[in-house]
Amino acid sequence: MNRDQRQAIALAGVFQAAVVVDELARTGRYDSRAWETLIKATVDPHPEQFADIYGNNLANLAVGIDSARQLLEQPPAGSQVMRYMLSIQLLANRASKDSALMNQLAERLDRIQQQAHHLGPTHDNVVLALGELYSDTLSTLRYRIVVKGDPELLKTPHMAERVRAVLLSGVRFSLLWRQQGGHRWQILLTRKRIQQTLSELRPRIS
């Protein structure tokens, strides 16, 4: 797997998080496979291989790959998914410049990983811990992501923590994208190349 492919896969993870956040906030529903992939990637901060991040199966990122291909081609005006994706990227960029915050994220994620090992990665307590971690760290930055959806739905028990957990997952994939050489303006300047790479990856999804 070359660098372009790794970058495209990491970016698809950010798009997948944006899609799931939008679905959760508006309807309370989500694609269970997409959700599980995001959460599992977040509670495993030290995978042995790059492919382990998405369970070694590109089908786990199908939602992100398809949404990225569509939105990079011609994003509809006012697309919430595109807004969330760009906001997650900006938040990750701000977080990466705060070494104390990044250390706190790493330490807490290591503890949550142990919790996930005993309870399972998508157990309610693990998801709540991820949501609390987002609140204690990324939510303290001056830049914050505003989630729009059904106000009553967002007030239901644990919904806010679920949304925050997915936003944390998006930041995880955004940081991965940066580690693979992605940069701020690349999405705009080389979107055709990203689309081509995603199109080449799409047939591998079974």
Tell whether the model's pLDDT for residue 204 goes beyond 70: yes
pLDDT tens for 60-115 read 999 999 999 999 887 777 799 999 999 999 999 999 999 999 999 999 999 999 99
Per-residue b or e along 124-157, where b marks 16 or more CB atoms closer than 10 Å to that residue's CB: eebbebbbbbbeebbeeeeeebebebeeeebeee
Contact in structure between 169 and 41 (CB atoms under 8 Å): yes
Average pLDDT score over residue span 7-30: 96
Residue 84's CB is within 10 A of a number of other CB atoms, namely: 26
- Which pLDDT does position 206 carry in this prediction? 59
CA contacts within 13 A on the Cβ side of 8: 26
Total count of domains within the chain = 1
pLDDT tens for 39-57 read 999 999 889 999 999 999 9
CATH number for 85: 1.10.3890.10
Average pLDDT score over residue span 159-169: 96
Angle (nearest 5°) at CA 117 between 111 and 121 = 90
Percent of the chain with pLDDT over 70: 100
Distance CA 56, CA 64 (A): 15
- Which pLDDT does position 185 carry in this prediction? 77
pLDDT band at 183 (very low <50, low <70, confident <90, very high): confident
Domain that holds residue 151: 3-204
Give 176-184 contacts, CB < 8 A, sequence gap 24+: 176/10, 176/13, 176/53, 177/7, 177/10, 177/11, 177/13, 177/14, 177/89, 178/92, 178/93, 178/96, 179/10, 180/3, 180/6, 180/7, 180/10, 181/3, 181/7, 182/7, 182/10, 182/11, 184/89, 184/93
- Which pLDDT does position 189 carry in this prediction? 79
Tell whether the model's pLDDT for residue 116 goes beyond 70: yes
Tell whether the model's pLDDT for residue 203 goes beyond 70: yes
